[in-house]
Amino acid sequence: MRSTTACLLNGKALAEKIQGDLKELITILQPKIGRPPGLAVLMVGDDPASAVYVRNKERACAKLGMASFGHHFPGQTSQTELEKVIQELNQDPRVDGILVQLPLPPHLDSVALLHTIAPEKDADGLHPMNLGRLVRGESGLRSCTPAGVMRLLEEYQIEVAGKHAVVVGRSILVGKPLGLMLLKKNATVTIAHSRTQNLAEITRQADILIAAVGKPQFITGDMVKQGAVAIDVGINRIVKSDDNAILVGDLDFESVAPVADYITPVPGGIGPMTVAMLLYNTVLSYQDRQ
């Protein structure tokens, strides 16, 4: 049995490095373009977690010298009102990226709102046109969390080609686009989900295991192959008996870390990478629109 534990894949440090590179690029481009890149974030209602995410994005924009156009709407705002605002932002020459902060109140259709965003301003990389480009292997704005996973693997020089990658979770936000990105890098990909039979048998075959199920500490050490790369996309808030809350991932870190060769922490792993790739997409759109 190994006495060592897995090497931590530090998403926080890499996200800071990416943001530093973007800041330099903005410094070069801004005098030529005549304005900074602009990101518009639309938030509806008072979800506390969403409010924290939006504040973090606004702070990150300020740090890079980007313009931030925050739009905070009351919970009862109608679909028509939001679509009108998005259409105005599509036409606004100061705005390069538009993001609708999820989750939305139940009366709103998030898919229809996403379709309203101009594909070239789709900072989250989730518009059907951008997902279609991903399917076809064409360049375009990429879904932020999967792109962050791929960038982290690249930074640590983890070989993907020829490896068996198992993605647990099939959402349009993470599982499906990540499967396509791994395929493009010549991995053999299995996408598992809530209906998968003998899940542990499948996860134990993974050279690269990605947990994106939204269930706290769902993947345990006995479900992981010795020497695997374990990527945790989940972020779950658990309230302890003393009323203090902690953040945990979809991996049971304590039991997985002694088995895996590499592992992402929660927090400090994929979360910061998602924000970094959102900013990257906005700057890419800024650059491409000139």
Q: Closest Cα to residue 290, out of 2, 26, 9?
A: 26
Is pLDDT above 80 for 2? no
pLDDT at 245 over 90: no
Write down the catalytic residue from 19, 96, 121, 124: 124
Does the annotation place 171 within a ligand binding site? yes
250 labelled catalytic: no
Q: What is the architecture of the domain spanning 34-119?
A: 3-Layer(aba) Sandwich (3.40)
* Band of residue 285 on the pLDDT scale cut at 50, 70, 90: very high
Over residues 255-269, the mean pLDDT reads 97
The reported pLDDT for the residue numbered 56 is 87
Model pLDDT for residues 33-92, shown as the tens digit of each residue: 999 999 999 999 998 878 888 888 999 999 999 999 989 999 999 999 999 999 999 999
> What is the average pLDDT across 170-184?
96
Locate 189 and state its tokens.
């990909």
Annotated binding residue at 170? Answer: yes
Instruction: Please pick, among 96, 101, 163, 217, the residue that the annotation labels catalytic.
Output: 101
Q: Is 235 a known ligand-binding residue?
A: yes
Annotated active-site residue 101? The verdict is: yes
Task: Return the pLDDT at 4.
Answer: 66
> Does the structure show a pLDDT above 60 at 253?
yes
CATH number assigned to the domain covering 143-270 = 3.40.50.720
Q: What confidence tens digit (pLDDT) does each residue in 192-230 have?
A: 998 999 999 999 999 999 999 999 999 999 999 999 999
Does position 100 have pLDDT exceeding 60, yes or no?
A: yes
Cα–Cα dist 281/123, whole Å:
5
Please report, for the chain, the start and end positions of each structural domain, with discontinuous segments joined by +: 34-119, 143-270
pLDDT bucket at 1, cuts 50 / 70 / 90: very low
Tokens representing residue 28 in the block:
């070069």
Average pLDDT value over all residues in the chain = 95
Angle, helix 48-64 to helix 11-33, in steps of 10 degrees: 50
Question: Can you list the positions of beta strands (E) in 96-162?
Answer: 97-100
Q: How confident is the model at residue 101 (pLDDT cuts 50, 70, 90)?
A: very high
Does 116 score more than 80 pLDDT? Answer: yes
Q: For the stretch 217-229, what's the b/e string if a residue is b when 16 or more beta carbons lie within 10 angstroms of its beta carbon?
A: bbbebebbbeebb
Complete DSSP assignment for 59-77: HHHHHHT-EEEEEEE-TT-
Whether 75 has a binding-site annotation, put simply, is no
CA distance 75 to 169: 29
pLDDT category of residue 238 using cuts at 50, 70 and 90: confident
Answer yes or no: 124 catalytic: yes
Structure-block tokens of residue 175: 């599982």
pTM attached to this predicted model? 0.94
pLDDT score of 162 more than 60: yes
> What is the CA 184 to chain-centroid distance, rounded?
18
Catalytic residue among 19, 57, 122, 252: 57
Q: How far apart are the first and last CA of the chain?
A: 57
